[in-house]
Amino acid sequence: MENIYKKYRKASGLTQEVASEKLGISVDSLKRYEMGERIPSNDIAKNMCTTYKDMRLAYDHVCNSEVGKLLLENLVGKDLCCSVLNFINILNNNVVMKDTMIKIASDGVIDCDEIDEWQEAEAAIKSLITSGYEILLRRDKFEQNKNKTCSSNA
């Protein structure tokens, strides 16, 4: 699997030398991040996101942290149309789950006989959140395309 920091730098079309200059770090530091020898701080990862113009790097950076692994799923990288359709499909399929969650949560306790249903509800929520991020993180691509289109129409 390709290193996320290298993947996003390459996708932005920047060389290590140019990227490290824009990020204000040494080429050696960038190489260590891209070889997986070190993990960039959140500040450097944030700068990478803005320099490489792709907020998916932020999600991947958090997702690959020990804390992020507890909460987040890796994104698949679907196009906008598939991401939206998947989100709506999950949402529609889980309308029934709402009643189950209300029934279970109404007494403030998850009883032994409710655990399986509750775990299904948790899985549905996690899928919905992941799908939502797939849509939200398309914003960068939209903004880039909008800027190109708007400047060429001017």
The per-residue pLDDT for range 77-132, each reduced to its tens digit, is 778 888 899 899 988 887 778 888 999 999 999 999 999 999 998 888 888 888 88
Q: Supply the pTM of this predicted model.
A: 0.73
Give the domain 4-71 fold. 434 Repressor (Amino-terminal Domain) (1.10.260)
Each domain of the chain, given as residue ranges in start order, spans 4-71, 80-153
- At 28, which amino acid appears? D
The per-residue pLDDT for range 19-34, each reduced to its tens digit, is 999 999 999 999 999 9
Return the axis-axis angle of helices 42-52 and 16-23, rounded to nearest 10°.
120
Residue 107 to residues 13, 111, 120, 125, Cα–Cα distance (Å): 55, 10, 19, 20
